């Protein structure tokens, strides 16, 4: 996957971005991406800067599904909003080609799912939605919906875990978030919630 995916992957490590506009006195922050303007409750923004991660684009932001109950800790789910044109056209993965409109598919991002190890090695895999019935050629078509990385156990997390990242196009923007593989059944609902929040905050 790889230069583009490497650019997208910064949320895997707990990425965030610095604020790009001043907050207003009414508890709202103003952000603009790809010509879309948003007024976002400040407690839904994640503005921390992570020194060891690459600097993000200025016209992007990270928001939370829910206000962070423990501000001194990095929240689990963060949605990165960027310009779609930054990545398109692109051919690094099927997921990117679909986001850029270079590949069409009738397969949704719902179950059944299949995980396939990719060429990056045993630590990396791709998640696919798979057709429930084979095509005329007897082959089950599939659509890439996420890429995943295995993390071995460590003192902070005694059990191994697999973190997956999905991204998709929405209104000339690229939306991205990471989730634990065990949360895969919730992925569709989380994507829908991310778009609904942006719609709620968009300045008409």
Least confident of 14-23, 85-94, 98-107, 150-159: 14-23
What pLDDT score does 57 carry?
A: 78
CA dihedral 8, 12, 16, 17 (to 10 degrees): -20
* CA 128 centroid distance within chain: 15
| 93, part of any domain | yes
| 44, part of any domain | yes
**C-beta of residue 32 within 8 angstroms of C-beta of residue 38:** yes
Tens-place pLDDT, residues 5-23: 444 443 433 333 333 334 4
Q: Is 101 helix (H, G, I), strand (E, B) or coil?
A: coil
H helices present in 104-168, as ranges: none
| 124, part of any domain | no
**C-beta of residue 43 within 8 angstroms of C-beta of residue 67:** yes
Q: How many residues does the chain have?
A: 204
| 78, part of any domain | yes
| 149, part of any domain | no
Q: Are strands 124-130 and 142-151 parallel, antiparallel or unpaired?
A: antiparallel
Tens-place pLDDT, residues 131-185: 987 777 777 899 999 999 998 877 766 788 899 999 999 999 999 999 999 999 9
Q: Based on the structure, what is the number of domains in the chain? A: 1
Token pair belonging to 140: 């089950």
| 160, part of any domain | no
Domain span at residue 33 reads: 2-104+165-201
| 159, part of any domain | no
Q: What is the pTM (predicted TM-score) of this model? A: 0.82
Q: What's the rounded Cα separation, in Å, for the pair 109 and 3?
A: 24
| 91, part of any domain | yes
């Amino acid at each position: 996957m790889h230069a583009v995916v490497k650019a997208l992957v910064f949320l895997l490590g707990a990425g965030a971005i610095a604020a790009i506009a001043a907050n207003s006195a009414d508890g709202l922050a103003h952000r603009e991406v790809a010509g879309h303007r948003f007024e976002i409750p400040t407690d839904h923004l994640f503005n921390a800067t992570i020194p060891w991660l690459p600097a993000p684009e200025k016209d992007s932001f990270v928001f939370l599904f829910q206000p962070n109950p423990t501000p001194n800790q990095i929240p689990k789910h963060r949605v990165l909003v960027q310009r779609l044109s930054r990545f398109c056209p692109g051919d690094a993965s099927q997921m990117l080609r679909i986001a850029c409109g270079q590949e069409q598919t009738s397969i949704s991002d719902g179950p059944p799912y299949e995980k396939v190890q990719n060429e990056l090695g045993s630590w990396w895999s791709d998640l696919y939605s798979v057709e429930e019935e084979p095509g005329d050629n007897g082959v089950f078509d599939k659509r890439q919906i996420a890429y995943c990385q295995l993390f071995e156990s460590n003192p902070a997390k005694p059990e191994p875990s697999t973190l997956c990242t999905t991204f998709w196009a929405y209104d000339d923007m690229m939306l991205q978030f990471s989730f634990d593989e065990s949360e895969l059944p919730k992925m569709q609902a989380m994507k829908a919630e991310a778009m609904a929040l942006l719609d709620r905050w968009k300045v008409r």
